[in-house]
Structure 1
């Protein structure tokens, strides 16, 4: 979680405390029907409120006119940290649609993924399995068909001139059993085909390869203007120069350890053979 995010959430908490002036936390919690601990966490900047929490707070403190101001503050926070809890309220498709806008605005896209095949190269069946896992994890609406269609539709960009996709994955991602074996087998075949695309430069970091940084969270770099980093609880949307420089250095380091072309083909074939033998 970024320092800017923490500071913004703390500032929002201070504003909430200011609106509560003259009323105890216990009394306000009773008015709202919340545990007092929630009031304390929101004021202390230790929990991100939902939009409806802020509207309820404004009315319970006798300051309904402050609701729009509080909502604007929350929007500013979420421009950097977008929790999955809020993003997935309507399912996965709206999240996919928001990402497509950023892909469409970009010319050079770079990705790192160490845990599974990147979305831009997923087969429909593999994508369905991934969405199903995350739907279960976050207990979100089960819009698997719409989410898969949105992801596959975005993959049309792979065949359009004018964009370059530099994608680097760890070999471990080729073995992760997030889908049934026959689905994973078809997915590996799809990766072989991607190696020959003019718009794609696919690199695989072999297990055992020397790496300058530990392979951690997956992320995408959209030109030199935006990094989107995935964590279990949220996506981080980072556009400040320091963060962009950091993630570009990480990507460059991991990319330098990757193999490409025929060597990448052999790594994928090795994963395919291991799958068939298991």
Structure 2
């Protein structure tokens, strides 16, 4: 099946772009790739760059007037454009560089269609902004149905930690109720967001700034919203500017349990901080 969009809709463009990037990632897997230093311990590889080029070629051919924000190439077109594509060609670069296949290719039209491709399972999770689906190897499609049945919760432990000491994701793993109700997983890629939408994970938790405009998270957030997941910041309010982090859950009960744990840790940290400031510890 061709990577060219078969229709005029934005979902077709997102799917084609994600598949084009996934083809590059899969074909370059296992090669010795030089690391391109991006500072602060971050890096890209030739696969990141080549995949982004393949994705942008698809978008440019189908939507030549749209702006694009790419993880590697940066802003192209007006930053305040009404139509802007957010592209993360390889989410999980460190995983990929060490031979781990837990990676994702993310393509999203801000406030619109989005696609997340798993290059190695050949699954593409996608939404038109209203409903969410998965397509396997270009043919089979199924509606995404979130469920908490697995009890698996993916937690991102990567720095920075902007909400510390009030909240650290690692503290969640030691919470007695978390241990009793859930099982932690750390895959270090936003593919985990697609898994929540698909019922392969019960929830996903990460810290950070405004993730709704992040090339890493935009596609996954769009998928989860369209699938009917509960999507908030770590303070329980809607994701957006001035909101930190992300808690995505398959249902209200799971979200409520996680929020109660986050808040209890935050209260404990605040009390500890007051004691230290008063010289009692």
TM-score (norm 1): 0.26
For CA contacts below 8 A with separation 6 or more, give which structure has more relative contact order: 1
TM-score (norm 2): 0.25
Q: Which has the larger radius of gyration?
A: 1
Q: In proportion to residue count, which structure has more helix?
A: 1
Q: In proportion to residue count, which structure has more strand?
A: 2
